[in-house]
Homo-oligomer: A and B are copies of this chain.
Amino acid sequence: MAITADLIRGHTETIILAHLYNSASYGYEINKDIFEKSGGHYELKEATLYGAFRRLEEAGCIESYWGDETTGARRRYYRITPRGKQFLHDSIAEWEDTKKLIDILIQFEREKE
């Protein structure tokens, strides 16, 4: 039942912050980048994406502003804040710890053959 998407739960914000680290971007583009970066294996659902933006902005990890496009659909850009960078560093450190922990916990003694 559990598909990959289920295991990514909790990493959405980290993924977004990593994409914003060096340049501001907007929802649609971020999601396309993630899709390509994942080799077409993963893509955020829009509701998940915008939910994460809201939480990150409330937490002061990102700031948003409207782009000045004169043509095409309007875009809301997001830029990462110093707090967001700190949060990203902490999240990645936590991920490294969690990875090790899960690897230990799912070890099992294989039956002798």
A interface: dominant SS: helix
A8 to chain B, nearest CB (A): 7
Closest to A105 in B: B15
Greatest chain B CB density within 10 A among A10, A99, A105 is at A105
Number of interface residues of A (CB under 8 A): 42
Closest 9 CB pairs of A and B: A21-B108, A18-B108, A7-B98, A15-B105, A18-B106, A6-B10, A22-B109, A7-B10, A14-B106
Give chain A's interface residues, CB within 8 Å of chain B: 1-4, 6-11, 13-15, 17-19, 21-22, 34, 37-38, 41-42, 59, 88, 91-92, 94-95, 97-99, 101-102, 104-111
